[in-house]
Amino acid sequence: MVVAPNGNAYVGNFGYDLMGGADHKDTGIVLVKPDGSTQKVAEGLSFPNGMVITPDEKTLIVNELFGNRISKFAIHADGTLGERHDFASFGSLGDEPSVARRMEKAMIKPDGLALDAEGAVWFADTVNQRAVRMAEGGEILETVDVAPKQVFAVALGGDDGKTLFMCVAPDWDEANRKSENLGRMISTKVSVGHAGTP
């Protein structure tokens, strides 16, 4: 979820019972307005997860964790979204129902997301055990290796906005993570500071 300065919240979801072993299904993004009203504003996404809004409040950038891509949408004045476009794509995974096979085929597994002042994104490339800084179009600019952990969320912050914070854990299995408290927050300095919301 990400919340715009005007209070509009854009909420992603799995779209199916991932932890229960259900087959993958595409899903959408729901707009929740400050008055509590809701509206589906995008469809056909493969687990829209990490999201950021550009500083001009005109574009929503969205990770598709099981889709091998990062997407972007124009934000209309009423909060609805335009058509989906690629921010970066590494090939369609089609209608493959197996999450495991989707993960095997995907080059990136983008979980949490942050935007920097040059318009590049940092994302948590979860099971690839790294944080990645990527330019629009898909060029990898920098990586931070977190092995043997997996990284699930990233944020740019600190006094100058140039600290990359990363949430890491051994894996994303719910049962494992409930039984052991092994999640950590780690950080490193980067050269370009934050931008956008948050």
Query: For residue range 130-152, what is the model confidence (pLDDT) as tens digits?
Result: 999 999 999 999 999 999 999 99
* pLDDT, greater one: 175 or 29: 29
Q: What band does 185 get if pLDDT is binned at 50, 70 and 90? A: very high
In this prediction, residue 44 carries a pLDDT of 95
In this prediction, residue 178 carries a pLDDT of 73
In this prediction, residue 18 carries a pLDDT of 84
In this prediction, residue 198 carries a pLDDT of 46
Query: For residue range 57-77, what is the model confidence (pLDDT) as tens digits?
Result: 999 999 999 999 999 999 999
- The percent of residues in the chain predicted with pLDDT above 70, rounded, is 95
Query: For residue range 70-99, what is the model confidence (pLDDT) as tens digits?
Result: 999 999 999 999 999 999 999 999 999 999
Ranking 9-13, 99-103, 121-125 by mean pLDDT, the lowest is 99-103
In this prediction, residue 196 carries a pLDDT of 54
Cα–Cα dist 120/87, whole Å = 10
Cα–Cα dist 138/118, whole Å = 14
Q: What is the arithmetic mean of pLDDT over 158-179?
A: 84
- Which segments of the chain are extended strands (E)? 2-3, 9-11, 27-32, 38-45, 48-53, 59-64, 69-74, 85-89, 110-116, 121-125, 130-134, 140-145, 150-157, 163-169, 184-189, 194-195
Using alpha carbons only, how large is the chain's radius of gyration in Å? 16
**Whether pLDDT at 25 is above 80:** yes
Q: Which of 24, 119, 134, 3 is nearest to 70 (CA)?
A: 134
Q: What residues pair up with 28 in beta bridges, in sequence order?
A: none
**Whether pLDDT at 50 is above 50:** yes
Q: What band does 182 get if pLDDT is binned at 50, 70 and 90? A: confident
**Whether pLDDT at 181 is above 50:** yes
* Phi and psi angles of residue 141, each rounded to the nearest 5 degrees, phi first: -95, -35
- 146 and 130 Cβ atoms separated by less than 8 Å: yes
In this prediction, residue 21 carries a pLDDT of 87
Quote the domain boundaries for residue 161.
Answer: 2-195
Instruction: Please tell me whether the peptide bond between 148 and the residue prior to it is cis, using omega within 30 degrees of 0.
Output: yes
What pTM was estimated for this model as a whole? Answer: 0.92
Report the number of distinct structural domains present in the chain. 1
What's the whole-number average pLDDT of the chain? 93
In this prediction, residue 20 carries a pLDDT of 85
